[in-house]
C-alpha cells in the first residue's frame, strides 16, 4: 500500500470535503427560494478551517458571511471577493468601532450601548454607517430586549447616522420543529420589525431553514448544516457529510482475560482479547466522555472503543479481526459515513457542533475538491478580488502536497 507523504508523518488524518460544503450551501439556498443564503463561518468555520471554507463558499456564489469576532472577519476579508459582506455577530467591543468602519465590516448591533457607539462614530466621521440590528425574541442572549427596542423606536435620534441594512434575531429551539417557542419568536420578530426602519430581515439558522417559508425572510444564516450536522431533530439528515477522521494504529497486543486496559483500569475484557492503540485522543477533540463508547471502523468491521480516552490515544477491542490483519500504520475510521458527527456527539452526550469545533490542530488536514485559486476564477468572471498572493490561503496552496 502506498502512502502519500502527508499521511506518513501524521498520527491521524482529517479529510474535509469542500465540495460537500458547497453542495450543502446550494441545497440550503434552493430550499429558501428567493431569500439569500449566507454562511456562518465563525469559530474557524466550526473547526474546519475558515480560510479554506469561506473562499470555497464564495466560489459557489455565497456573498454574505457571518463570524463572531472582528478578528475573524479581518482574517477572512483578504480572501473574499470585494462584493462579499462580512458581518460580526458580537458587534463592536468598546473601542473597536473605528476598525469596523475602516475595514468595511458590518457589525451586528446588539445593545443600546453598541448602537450609541456606532451612532457616535457616524457623527464623528460625518457619514452614514451600515449595521445590522439584532432584537432578542426569546433567548436572552444577544440583541435588544423588548423594552430597549421600544425605547429606540420612541427616540427619533436613536438611529441617526446608522443605515440599518438588516434586522435580525436568533431562534433558540429551531431543531425541534414542534417546539412552541419557534412560533412565539416568529410573532415577536414580526412585531419587532414594525418598530424599526424597513430593512431586509434575517431570522433562520440552519434548523430555521427547515421550519418553512415563514421563517426565511430575506437572508438565512446557516452554519452547522453546511458542515453536515443534522438540522432537524428526529429526522433523516438531508445534508452531505463533510468530515472523515482516520486514526493510525500504533501498536497491537494480545491480552489475557481480566487484563485491565488504560487509565483508571477503565475496562477489562472477559476473554482473551486483542487491543489496538490508535493515535487520536482528547487533545485532538476525541472527547474523554467517549471513554468506553462508540467504535472505530476497520473497513466493514466495527471495533469498540474500550477504556478511557487518553490525551493522545484511544484503545480498541480489535478481537473481531484475525490476528495480524491490523498492523501498525493501518488507518481506522472514527468519523465516517457510518458513524457521522451526530452519532459521535450522541455517544459523547453533546451536539455535533461541539464535536466539530473541538477537532484539534494536530491532524494532517486534507481538503477535497479545493477551488481553483479564487483570483483566476474571478478574472474569468470579471469580478474584482483582492490580492491573495501573500495571504494565508496562498501560503496553504503553495504548501499543498501531492
Ligand X SMILES: *Cc1c(COP(=O)(O)O)cnc(C)c1O
Cell numbers at residue 219, please? 437572508
CA distances from 222 to 17, 114, 229 (A): 17, 25, 11
CB 309, CB 282: distance < 8 Å: yes
- φ and ψ at residue 108, rounded to 5 degrees: -95, 115
Catalytic-residue membership of 367: no
The CA distance from 399 to 380, in Å, is 25
Q: Of these residues, 244, 263, 353, 384, which one is catalytic?
A: 263
**CB-nearer residue toward ligand X: 78 or 238:** 238
**CB-nearer residue toward ligand X: 206 or 391:** 206
Q: How near is the Cβ of 231 to ligand X at its closest, in Å?
A: 7
Q: How near is the Cβ of 37 to ligand X at its closest, in Å?
A: 11
Q: How near is the Cβ of 122 to ligand X at its closest, in Å?
A: 24
Q: Of these residues, 42, 77, 244, 308, which one is catalytic?
A: 42
CB 128, CB 101: distance < 8 Å: no
Q: How near is the Cβ of 40 to ligand X at its closest, in Å?
A: 4
Catalytic-residue membership of 384: no
Residues that bind ligand X in the complex, under the rule CB under 6 A: 40, 42, 89, 170, 205-207, 221-225
Q: Choose among 347, 331, 343: nearest CA to 276.
A: 331
Q: How near is the Cβ of 171 to ligand X at its closest, in Å?
A: 8
**CB-nearer residue toward ligand X: 40 or 355:** 40
Q: How near is the Cβ of 66 to ligand X at its closest, in Å?
A: 6
Question: Which residue's CB comes closest to ligand X?
Answer: 223
**CB-nearer residue toward ligand X: 24 or 313:** 24
**CB-nearer residue toward ligand X: 132 or 385:** 132
Cell numbers at residue 223, please? 452554519
The CA distance from 112 to 62, in Å, is 31
The CA distance from 21 to 351, in Å, is 19
- φ and ψ at residue 288, rounded to 5 degrees: -65, -25
Burial code (b: 16+ CB inside 10 Å, e: under 16) for 284-323 equals: bbbbeebbbbbbbbbeeebbbbbbbbbebbbbbbbbbbee
Q: How near is the Cβ of 294 to ligand X at its closest, in Å?
A: 23
For residue 262, what are the contacts with CB-CB under 8 A and spacing of at least 6?
A: 306, 307, 308, 310, 315
Please return the burial class of 74, using the count of CB atoms within 10 Å of its CB with bins 0-12, 13-18 and 19+.
Answer: middle
CB 54, CB 76: distance < 8 Å: yes
Cell numbers at residue 119, please? 451612532
**CB-nearer residue toward ligand X: 65 or 282:** 65
CA distances from 307 to 41, 82, 257, 326, 367 (A): 35, 51, 15, 19, 32
**CB-nearer residue toward ligand X: 35 or 298:** 35
* Cα 164 to the center of its chain, rounded Å: 27
Q: How near is the Cβ of 94 to ligand X at its closest, in Å?
A: 21
162-168 and 201-202 beta bridge pairing: parallel
Q: Cell 431562534, residue?
A: 171
64-67 and 39-40 beta bridge pairing: parallel
**CB-nearer residue toward ligand X: 107 or 394:** 107
List active site positions: 42, 263
Amino acid at each position: 500500500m502506498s502512502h502519500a507523504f502527508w499521511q506518513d508523518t501524521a498520527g491521524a488524518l482529517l479529510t474535509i470535503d469542500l465540495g460537500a460544503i458547497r453542495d450543502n450551501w446550494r441545497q440550503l439556498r434552493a430550499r429558501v427560494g428567493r431569500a439569500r443564503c449566507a454562511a456562518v463561518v465563525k469559530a474557524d468555520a466550526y473547526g474546519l478551517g475558515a480560510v479554506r471554507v469561506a473562499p470555497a463558499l464564495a466560489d459557489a456564489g455565497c456573498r454574505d458571511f457571518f463570524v463572531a469576532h472582528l478578528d475573524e472577519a479581518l482574517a477572512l476579508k483578504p480572501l473574499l471577493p470585494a462584493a462579499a459582506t462580512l458581518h460580526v455577530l458580537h458587534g463592536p467591543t468598546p473601542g473597536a468601532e473605528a476598525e469596523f468602519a475602516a475595514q468595511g465590516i458590518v457589525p451586528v448591533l446588539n445593545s443600546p450601548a453598541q448602537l450609541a457607539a456606532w451612532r457616535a462614530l457616524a457623527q464623528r466621521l460625518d457619514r452614514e454607517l451600515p449595521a445590522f440590528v439584532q432584537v432578542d425574541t426569546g433567548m436572552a442572549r444577544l440583541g435588544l430586549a423588548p423594552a430597549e427596542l421600544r425605547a429606540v423606536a420612541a427616540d427619533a435620534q436613536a438611529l441617526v447616522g446608522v443605515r440599518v441594512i438588516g434586522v435580525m434575531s436568533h431562534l433558540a429551539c429551531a431543531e425541534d420543529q414542534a417546539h412552541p417557542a419557534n412560533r412565539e419568536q416568529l410573532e415577536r420578530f414580526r412585531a419587532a420589525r414594525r418598530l424599526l426602519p424597513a430593512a431586509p430581515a434575517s431570522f433562520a439558522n440552519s434548523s430555521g431553514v427547515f421550519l418553512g417559508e415563514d421563517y426565511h425572510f430575506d437572508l438565512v444564516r446557516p452554519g452547522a448544516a453546511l458542515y453536515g450536522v443534522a438540522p432537524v431533530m428526529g429526522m433523516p439528515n438531508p445534508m452531505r457529510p463533510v468530515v472523515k477522521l482516520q486514526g493510525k494504529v500504533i501498536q497491537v497486543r494480545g491480552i489475557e482475560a481480566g487484563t485491565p486496559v488504560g487509565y483508571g483500569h477503565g475496562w477489562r475484557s472477559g476473554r482473551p482479547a486483542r487491543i489496538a492503540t490508535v493515535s487520536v485522543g482528547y487533545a485532538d477533540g476525541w472527547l474523554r466522555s467517549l471513554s468506553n463508547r462508540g467504535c472505530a471502523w476497520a473497513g466493514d468491521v466495527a471495533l469498540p472503543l474500550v477504556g478511557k480516552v487518553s490525551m493522545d490515544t484511544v484503545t480498541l477491542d480489535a478481537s473481531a479481526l484475525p490476528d495480524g490483519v491490523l498492523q501498525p500504520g493501518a488507518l481506522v475510521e472514527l468519523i465516517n459515513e457510518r458513524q457521522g458527527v451526530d452519532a459521535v456527539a450522541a455517544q459523547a452526550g453533546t451536539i455535533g457542533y461541539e464535536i466539530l469545533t473541538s477537532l484539534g490542530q494536530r491532524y494532517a488536514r486534507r481538503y477535497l475538491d479545493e477551488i481553483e485559486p479564487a483570483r483566476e476564477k474571478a478574472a474569468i468572471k470579471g469580478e474584482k478580488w483582492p490580492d491573495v498572493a501573500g495571504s494565508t490561503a496562498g501560503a496553504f496552496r503553495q504548501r499543498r502536497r501531492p
